[in-house]
Amino acid sequence: MHDRRLSRGRLGRSAVVVATVAGLLGAPAPALGGPAPQPPAIAVSSPSAILTEAGSGQVIYEKNSHERRSAASLTKLMTLVIALEAVEQGRARPDDEVVASAHAASLGGTTIFLAQGERFSLADILKSVAVGSANDAAVALAEHISGSEQAFVEEMNRKAAELGLSDTRFANSHGLDAEGQYTSAHDLAVLARYAVNVPGLLQLTSIYHDEIKGHRKSAFHLDNFNKLLVFYEGTDGLKTGYTDRARACVAATAKRGETRMIAVILGSTSGAVRQTEVERLLNYGFANYQSVAIAGRGEAAGSPVAVLRGTSFFVQPVAAGAFGVAVRKGQTEGLQRKVQQEGRVEAPVRQGQVLGYLIVTRGEQELGRVALIAPQDIPRAGFANLAWGLLRRLFWPASGD
């Protein structure tokens, strides 16, 4: 998904259309005697934490969320994103055979005890990282995707920059303590919001128990350290972690109905504290907020944009991703959606090119926005196409593509 920004200056020729969200989603829920009461403050002893609603990215609660810290195996969330996007791009296949290097086999901590030269399918290695949090599998995965762990780490850092993770730098693919490796609760929440939409990721992180075998005589059992999968309704990810430097960490997501929450805890004194406090954050979110769906990924929004000198006269913008906003329960009234888009663009138009934004507001407050993009390439037209187009516009001015 492209996330190139369109400055307000570039939208000088833009069309702006405003509609009430209620008109699109049905009548708002009846008022319950005024605004909902302010929920009590959340008590979180862990040094850094954040709670966000996934559809809009709205921050509901944060504590030292930009503080740079070690995050242990939460690093593997980016490892999974890079690997699964490589599969989506055709750079790798689930049935690829992954061969463990000496470097991968040398990793300590949580492992699947890879031996040098041992072979597993990429699908099994992905499960070993997502479910078993195996450090050796993370390195084997990195080497298979990029040729070396260092090259893979460079991909991780490029992705971090693309997502705007300004408090993040990766030094390895597994998360064991390393100099110069850090992130923040805020950055992990942004990464998690992106990750939940990566094809195949939640299917992996929602597995509580599985096994792999490869060429071994007996199966190796994988058990997820994320106990929320068993004990917290709606949980389908994402990662836990622990090292002496990072202490107990978790990036968790759960969905109930149409509402998805993301909570990150860093630096807890124990796994038990981590578990209690991440549940407290999620409970707070689900008790007090609800998601309002605005547009699905690829859904048409706004008006067709005129394409100058293109093989098509118009391009219909679509939402770059699933989009919604978080509102206090019982306060869905008063939401409006505004389309801010280009009036015309010049060919060639690239698939994914940003043509505008779909913005949701209440009064003067912007609650969230999603980029509107071109769903396909529109090449620049040759002379014959341009001449034909001119004739069509002269003699059939109401026609269009």
Write out the catalytic residue numbers. Answer: 73, 76, 133
CA 175 to each of CA 10, 50, 80: distance values in angstroms, whole numbers, following the listed order: 41, 20, 12
Q: In what order do the strands lie in the sheet with 314-315?
A: 314-315, 305-308, 344-346
CB atoms within 10 A of CB 66: 13
- Report which secondary-structure segment, H or E, holds 53: strand 48-53
List, in sequence order, every residue forming a beta bridge with 326; answer none if it has no partner: 291
Q: With CA atoms as reference, report the closest residue to 133 among 265, 196, 223, 252.
A: 223
For residue 108, give both structure tokens: 């300590």
3-state secondary structure at position 387:
helix
3-state secondary structure at position 333:
coil
Q: How far apart are CA 46 and CA 167, in angstroms?
A: 19
Task: Name the DSSP class of 74.
Answer: G
Q: CB under 8 Å to 7, separation ≥6 — which residues?
A: none
User: Please, is 17 exposed, middle or buried when counting C-beta atoms within 10 Å of its C-beta (0-12, 13-18, 19+)?
Assistant: middle
CA gyration radius for the chain? 24
Cα torsion through 382, 387, 389, 395, rounded to 10 = -170
> What's the distance, CA 194 to chain centroid?
1
